[in-house]
Copies of this chain bind each other. A is one copy, B any other.
């Protein structure tokens, strides 16, 4: 199902954007957020396991994920897959579309996703007229850089247990930052194959690794849920430090504790919309 943007009120768009990392960027002022609302061309719902963008095509719009999970992926010549990034609610799933039209990475939904569409030409205009939006984009891109580097280091230099453990840690912290995780548990819609493609392992080995993590009393992944039993031990086992996620750079953000975005005076969606 797809709505035209006109069928959604600006207030509705603002309300939905309010939970995104772009919106919460400490760089932005209210008039930046207002301009952002006006620039989104529509809001779309995309079914699970569908392409947000297909490999080998071109693209002309950014997609801001309002709800649902997605993944960037790449295919090797032998048809194996790699997932360089998981996209959670509030993330921009294809920031590269702001500058490039060629597509080396595909994007698939993992669950049903609601996305706001921001056409490239409007994004460029936004950046030209709102330097703080440009700064926010850069900040997001650099954060992705840090995450990507962390993942590459894991794949290259850490054991399977540490890789899987770290991914589960990262997801907890990122989900907490957007209010999508309880104390130490969260919905995990990934299959073991997704986990393998993200960590450079096979799904078979992910399976065995998860069993070890569970019997060690660290974390249980079962039935699309992750439950962390011993956060301190898990962090220690895999050397996880959340600073690379740069969550404290967000307004209302905190690197470790759940965020209630409905509190906090500044970045909520209550700005006046003409």
Q: Which residues of A contact B (CB under 8 A)?
A: 72, 74, 76-77, 80-82, 84-85, 95-96, 98-100, 102, 104-105, 124, 127-129, 131, 134-135, 137-139, 141-142, 144-146, 148-153, 155-158, 197, 199-200, 239, 243-244, 246, 249
| Contact of A84 with B152 at beta-carbon distance under 8 Å, contacts A76-B157, A76-B239, A131-B131 already known | yes
Chain B min CB distance to A75 (Å) = 9
Sample of 11 further A-B pairs with CB below 8 A, known A74-B153, A141-B145, A155-B155: A76-B153, A81-B157, A82-B157, A96-B142, A100-B142, A102-B243, A127-B131, A127-B134, A134-B135, A141-B142, A156-B200
A148 / chain B contacts, CB cutoff of 8 Å: 84, 145, 148-149, 152
A243 / chain B contacts, CB cutoff of 8 Å: 102, 104
A135 / chain B contacts, CB cutoff of 8 Å: 99, 124, 127-128, 134
A141 / chain B contacts, CB cutoff of 8 Å: 138, 141-142, 145
Q: With A and B bound together, what is the CA distance between A131 and B126 in angstroms?
A: 10
| Contact of A156 with B199 at beta-carbon distance under 8 Å, contacts A141-B141, A146-B104 already known | yes
Interface centre among A76, A129, A135, A156 (most CB of B within 10 A): A156
Contact B134 A200 (CB under 8 A): no
A72 / chain B contacts, CB cutoff of 8 Å: 149
A124 / chain B contacts, CB cutoff of 8 Å: 135
Closest chain B residue to A136, Cβ basis: B99
Contact B157 A200 (CB under 8 A): yes
Contact A104 B244 (CB under 8 A): yes
A129 / chain B contacts, CB cutoff of 8 Å: 131
Contact B96 A153 (CB under 8 A): no
Chain B min CB distance to A259 (Å) = 19
A157 / chain B contacts, CB cutoff of 8 Å: 76, 80-82, 200
